[in-house]
Amino acid sequence: MKDTLKGVFFRLPLRLSSLEKCYNNNESEVLKMNEPGLKKAMDTLQYLSQDSEARRLYEARQKYLHDEASMLGSAEMAGIKKVAKNMLDLNLDISIIIKATGLTEQEINALRK
């Protein structure tokens, strides 16, 4: 983790200078492709410079995307638990259920109730 953070901070001046260059020379599309992570920073800057209605729409879209991802994650977990419950009903060994579903032994035991 420390090495990762060190790498990010080491590259930060390069990224900032690239971002400045982008706005000074109108080379945004080229830089977006060449600098990883720069697209997100540029999108954020664009967001911050929008008017209040555009910002409200942007925030609503971000909330929708977050909610959708959360629902998909919940649905996936529900499906995994259903499979684990079916495997329990078939009297499969708990170690097999753990390997097949990725659930912990405690989570599987809770499904027995």
| Shared-domain flag, residues 64 and 79 | yes
| Shared-domain flag, residues 20 and 67 | no
Question: Each residue of 56-78: pLDDT tens digit?
Answer: 887 888 899 999 999 998 999 99
The number of distinct structural domains making up the chain is 2
* Both structure tokens of 82: 């259903």
Q: Taking the chain (113 residues) in consecutive chunks of 10 residues, what is each chunk's mean pLDDT?
A: 43 48 54 67 71 80 90 91 94 94 94 86
Q: How many CA atoms lie within 13 A of 99 on its CB side?
A: 5
* Both structure tokens of 98: 């753990």
pTM beyond 0.85: no
| Shared-domain flag, residues 33 and 64 | no
| Shared-domain flag, residues 25 and 66 | no
| Shared-domain flag, residues 70 and 27 | no
Residue range of the domain that includes 110: 55-113
| Shared-domain flag, residues 41 and 66 | no
| Shared-domain flag, residues 65 and 12 | no
Cβ atoms 42, 19 nearer than 8 A: yes
Residue 59's contacts (CB-CB under 8 Å, 6 or more residues apart) are none
d(CA 111, CA 84): 8
Torsion of CA 32, 36, 38, 40, to 10 degrees: 100
